[in-house]
Amino acid sequence: MKERQANWIQLADFPFDRGEIMKAYKISEFPTYFLVDQNGIVVARENNFRDIEKIVTETKAFR
């Protein structure tokens, strides 16, 4: 994360298939990305980071 200068929250839940985060957010695939707006609302949930990038690029709210 330091190497890529990530400026977002990243969670890991072990063991992956039985962790509390997996249950709470109903995650069934890896990886799962959530895009959260400034009000804390989940506005997108994708398994492909490029889909998240596209949403951010095309949405004025994230500029």
pLDDT tens across 1-35, in order?
556 666 777 777 776 667 787 888 888 887 888 88
The mean pLDDT value for 40-46 works out to 90
> Please, which pLDDT band fits residue 63 given cuts at 50, 70 and 90?
low
> Please, which pLDDT band fits residue 51 given cuts at 50, 70 and 90?
very high
Site of tokens 């509390």: 20
Asked if residues 27 and 21 have their Cβ atoms less than 8 Å apart, the reply is yes
The mean pLDDT value for 53-59 works out to 86
pTM: 0.66
CA Rg, the chain, in Å?
A: 13
pLDDT of residue 37: 83
